[in-house]
């Protein structure tokens, strides 16, 4: 072939490539077509900056590949769960899932690939032209088990479809959280699902944490509710697990937009008013052979319950129901939780103490790694939480492992 023809062919190929790049549908994370659940803030470029386990819903039509452009200060893990409303790929249910590891720095990560080629696509392959909705959720807590806050924020800049197709407004598919149902969880490693993906005996590893298997996510699935979860392994109400690492305590951290940022702005509580709040703090306070009770524990918990009550107070409405749980990893803080609930209620809170100490002996396989609840343990905790919150809100309690992303995660994930 003559040189000129090569040049012409290259020019044609380059033009086609440019056209493909220009044609690729891209949506900023904060684009109205995308739905975000969780605490975070938009940046000037339309990206979403967060560190707590946030979730993103993206619906596509005729997509080949879905990518996310992500910057991260630390490592992060994203769970992707897919649903196909047009059938074949997932049999019209929430289906396969995959894990994407995000490294520090900036990169474009493939979330779902080869949708048009069922020989190539692996577990997330679907025929082209299907309507596919994916849920992308951060699996790990703000800054995994860290004793000191080090900025571990993640920026999800945008979602793209490099192989064609379009991003459409989030489809009305089953099992999505309802925007009119909101539940907030505040806790430690138990709520952050530290060590959930294993069975005792084992030592918890970062990859064994998954927010999607926490009783928080499971409870919200049973109640079709949106979840906000502020939970940090090793932190307590007035003392943290490692006494030689004073760090900050949960009453300060739980107010932050970004848990891992010491001077984080305070979250705008009016932007997301929960219908119920579930608190489980005390396991780290009472640890390590400390003389128990710590005198400040009970009054601080009562103050936290009152702070929560005040921040969500709506004139003419009864106070937000708060559930102050204790157990299942430790039980010695139960009496203080009960006393704090009583004190807060005497000052206008609507709190109840919930005993979860029977969870571990209550069934087999409920202990995961490093003494923390396994998936079965979290499941049992969630059944109790969903019953309590359903009772307080009047919401029907559905199956935790029904046709929703959490149910698919429990059925399909490894
Ligand atoms: C993303 O947001 C920025 C800032 O609002 C805007 O200039 C840009 O066009 C957006 N990009 C897309 C793909 O919508
Ligand atoms: C309660 O709120 C006040 C005012 O923001 C704050 O100073 C205090 O530390 C909070 N206490 C707890 C336990 O949340
Ligand atoms: C249901 O709520 C009522 C108060 O509205 C309470 O008295 C009762 O104990 C609750 N039951 C359960 C199972 O939580």
CATH code for the domain in which residue 282 is found: 3.40.50.1110
> Which of residues 148, 172, 196 is at a domain's end?
172
Q: Is any atom of ligand 1 closer than 6 Å to the C-beta of 28? A: yes
Ligand found nearest the CA of 385: 3
Ligand with minimal distance to 238 CA:
2
Query: Who lines ligand 2 at CB under 6 A?
Result: 251, 300, 303-304, 307
Q: What is the pLDDT of residues 120-156, one digit of tens each?
A: 444 455 555 578 899 999 999 999 988 889 999 999 9
Determine the pLDDT at residue 5: 47
Taking the C-alpha atoms of residue 275 and residue 299, their distance in angstroms, rounded to an integer, is 24
Higher-confidence residue of 187 and 21: namely 187
Residue % of the chain over a pLDDT of 90 = 79
Our answer on whether the CB atom of 384 is closer than 6 Å to any ligand 3 atom is: no
Which tens digit of pLDDT belongs to each residue from 269-280?
A: 999 999 999 999
Cα dist from 338 to 196, 249, 333, 353, whole Å: 27, 21, 9, 6
Ligand 1: which of 21, 23, 24, 28 to mutate, most ligand atoms within 8 Å of CB?
A: 28
Please give the distance, rounded to the nearest whole angstrom, from the Cα atom of residue 249 to the centre of ligand 2.
12
DSSP 255: T
pLDDT, one tens digit per residue, over 215-237 is 999 999 999 999 999 999 999 99
Place of tokens 């087999």: 364
Query: What number of CA atoms fall less than 13 Å from residue 414's CA on the CB side?
Result: 3
H or E element at residue 146 = none
Which pLDDT score is estimated for 393? 97
In a domain, 1, yes or no: no
Flag whether pLDDT at 13 surpasses 70: no
Same domain, 320 and 226: yes
392 CA to middle of ligand 3, Å? 7
Interacting residues of 117 by C-beta distance below 8 A, sequence separation 6+: 125
HSE on the CB side for 152, CA within 13 Å? 24
Within a domain: 138: yes
Q: Whose CA is nearest to atom 1 of ligand 3?
A: 391
The answer to whether 373 touches 210, Cβ cutoff 8 Å, is no
Q: How far apart are CA 357 and CA 408, in angstroms?
A: 28
Q: Which ligand ends up closest to the CA of 390?
A: 3
| 49 and 192 assigned to the same domain | no
Q: Please give the distance, rounded to the nearest whole angstrom, from the Cα atom of residue 380 to the centre of ligand 3.
A: 19
Distance from the CA of 132 to the center of ligand 1, in angstroms?
23
46 C-beta closer than 6 A to ligand 1: yes
- The gap from C-alpha 293 to its chain's centroid, in whole angstroms, comes to 32
How many A from CA of 331 to the centre of ligand 1? 51
Q: Does residue 341 register a pLDDT over 60? A: yes
Do 219 and 361 lie in a common domain? yes
Q: Decide which of 172, 206, 226 is a domain's last residue.
A: 172
Q: In terms of DSSP bridges, do strands 41-42 and 48-50 run parallel, antiparallel, or are they unpaired?
A: antiparallel
With contact defined as beta carbons under 8 Å apart, do 80 and 112 qualify? yes
Best of 29, 30, 46 to mutate for ligand 1, by most ligand atoms within 8 A of CB?
46
Residue 59 bridge partners (DSSP):
133, 168
β-bridge partners, 182:
226
Q: Does 53 map to a domain?
A: yes
Domain range holding 400?
A: 182-412
CATH number where 49 lies: 2.60.120.260
pLDDT, tens only, 284-302: 999 988 999 999 999 999 9
Mean of pLDDT over the chain = 91
- Give dist(CA 58, CA 132) in Å, integer: 8
Ligand nearest to C-alpha 47: 1
Among all bound ligands, the one having the nearest atom to the CA of 32 is 1
Examine residue 8 and state whether it is found in any structural domain, yes or no.
no
Q: What is the CA radius of gyration of the chain?
A: 23
**Residue 10 pLDDT grade (very low, low, confident, very high; cuts 50, 70, 90):** low
> Which of 391, 392, 394, 395 is the pocket-test mutation for ligand 3 (most atoms within 8 Å of CB)?
391
Q: How many domains does one find in the chain?
A: 2
- Do 205 and 149 reside in the same domain of the chain? no
Cis peptide before 65 (omega within 30 of 0): no
Q: Is residue 258 in a domain?
A: yes
Tell me the angle at which helices 375-393 and 215-223 cross, rounded to the nearest 10 degrees.
40
State whether 126 and 107 are in the same domain. Answer: yes
Q: Of all residues in the chain, what percent carry a pLDDT higher than 70? A: 88
Residue 217: its H or E element: helix 215-223
Residue 389 CA, ligand 3 centroid: distance in Å? 9
Q: Are 157 and 191 in a shared domain?
A: no
> 126 and 233: one domain?
no
Which one is predicted more confidently, 289 or 250? 250
- The span from the CA of 311 to the CA of 322, in Å, is 12
Query: Considering the domain boundaries, does residue 2 fall inside one?
Result: no
> Which atom from ligand 1 is nearest to the alpha carbon of 45?
4
Asked if residue 20 is part of any domain, the answer here is: no
Atom of ligand 3 nearest to the CA of 391: 1
DSSP annotation string for 354-397: EE-TTTTTTSTT-B-GGG-B-HHHHHHHHHHHHHHHHHHHT---
Which ligand 1 atom lies nearest to the CA of residue 44? 4
Cβ of residue 26 lying under 6 Å from some atom of ligand 1: yes
User: Are 116 and 245 contained in the same domain?
Assistant: no
Looking at the structure, tell me whether residues 406 and 260 fall in a common domain.
yes
Q: Whose CA is nearest to atom 6 of ligand 1?
A: 45
Q: How far is CA 394 from CA 188, 222, 384, 387, in A?
A: 28, 13, 15, 10
Which of the 8 DSSP states describes residue 298?
H
**203 and 92 in a common domain:** no
**Is residue 266 within 8 Å of residue 255, measured between CB atoms?**
yes
Over residues 366-392, mean pLDDT: 98
Residue 55 to residues 39, 228, 271, Cα–Cα distance (Å):
10, 10, 17
Nearest bound ligand to the CA of residue 391? 3
* 405-412 and 215-223 helices, crossing angle to 10°: 130
CB distance 30 to ligand 3 below 6 Å: no
Tell me how far apart the alpha carbons of residues 281 and 271 are, in angstroms, rounded to a whole number: 25
Q: What is the pLDDT of residue 90?
A: 72
16 lies in a domain?
no
* Separation between Cα atoms, residue 155 and residue 236, nearest integer Å: 28
Atom 14 of ligand 2, nearest CA residue: 304
Dump pLDDT digits (tens) for 73-109.
999 999 999 898 776 667 788 887 889 999 999 999 9
The predicted structure's pLDDT at residue 244: 60
3-state helix, strand, coil in the chain (%, to 5): 25, 25, 50
Domain termination residue (choose one: 144, 172, 200): 172
| Ligand 2 atom closest to the CA of 303, numbered from 1 | 13
DSSP 44-93: TTS-EEE-S--EEEEEEES-S-EEEEEEESS-EEEEEEEEETTSTTTTTS
* CB distance 216 to 390 below 8 Å: no
Q: Are residues 279 and 324 in the same domain?
A: yes
Whether residue 206 sits in one domain with residue 145: no
Nearest CA to ligand 3 atom 8: 391
Q: Give the tokens for residue 188.
A: 């430690």
């Amino acid at each position: 072939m003559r040189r000129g023809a090569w040049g012409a062919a290259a020019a044609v190929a380059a033009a086609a490539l440019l056209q493909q790049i220009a044609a690729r549908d891209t949506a900023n994370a904060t684009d109205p077509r995308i739905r975000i659940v969780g605490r975070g803030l938009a940046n000037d470029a339309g990206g979403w900056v967060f560190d707590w386990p946030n979730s993103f819903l993206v619906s596509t039509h005729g997509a080949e590949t879905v990518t996310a452009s992500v910057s991260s200060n630390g490592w992060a893990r994203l769970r992707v769960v897919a649903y196909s409303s047009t059938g074949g790929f997932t049999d019209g249910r929430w289906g396969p899932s995959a894990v994407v590891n995000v490294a520090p720095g900036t990169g474009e990560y493939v979330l779902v690939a080869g949708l048009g080629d069922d020989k190539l696509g692996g577990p997330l392959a679907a025929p082209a032209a299907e309507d596919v909705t994916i849920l992308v959720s951060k699996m790990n807590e703000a800054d995994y088990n860290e004793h000191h806050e080090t900025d571990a924020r993640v920026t999800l800049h945008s979602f793209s479809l490099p192989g064609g197709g379009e991003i459409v407004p989030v489809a009305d598919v089953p099992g999505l959280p309802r925007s009119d149902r909101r539940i907030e969880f505040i806790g430690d490693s138990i709520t952050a699902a530290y060590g959930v993906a294993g069975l005792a005996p084992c030592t918890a590893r970062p990859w064994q944490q998954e927010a999607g298997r926490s009783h928080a996510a499971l409870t919200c699935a049973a109640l079709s509710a949106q979840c906000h979860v502020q939970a940090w392994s090793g932190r307590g109400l007035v003392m943290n697990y490692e006494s030689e690492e004073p760090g900050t305590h949960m009453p300060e951290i739980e107010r932050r937009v970004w848990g891992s940022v010491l001077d984080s702005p305070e979250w705008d509580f009016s932007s997301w008013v929960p219908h119920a709040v579930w608190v489980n703090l005390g396991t780290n306070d009472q640890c390590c052979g400390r003389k128990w009770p710590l005198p400040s524990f009970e009054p601080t918990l009562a103050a936290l319950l009152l702070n929560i009550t005040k921040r969500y107070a709506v004139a003419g409405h009864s106070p937000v129901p708060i559930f102050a749980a204790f157990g299942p990893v430790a039980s010695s803080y139960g009496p203080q939780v009960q006393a704090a609930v009583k004190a807060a209620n005497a000052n206008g809170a609507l709190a109840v103490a919930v005993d979860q100490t029977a969870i571990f002996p209550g069934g087999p396989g409920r202990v995961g790694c490093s003494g923390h609840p396994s998936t079965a343990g979290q499941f049992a905790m969630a059944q109790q939480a969903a019953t309590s919150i359903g009772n307080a809100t009047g919401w029907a309690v559905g199956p935790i492992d029904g046709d929703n992303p959490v149910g698919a995660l429990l059925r399909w994930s490894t």
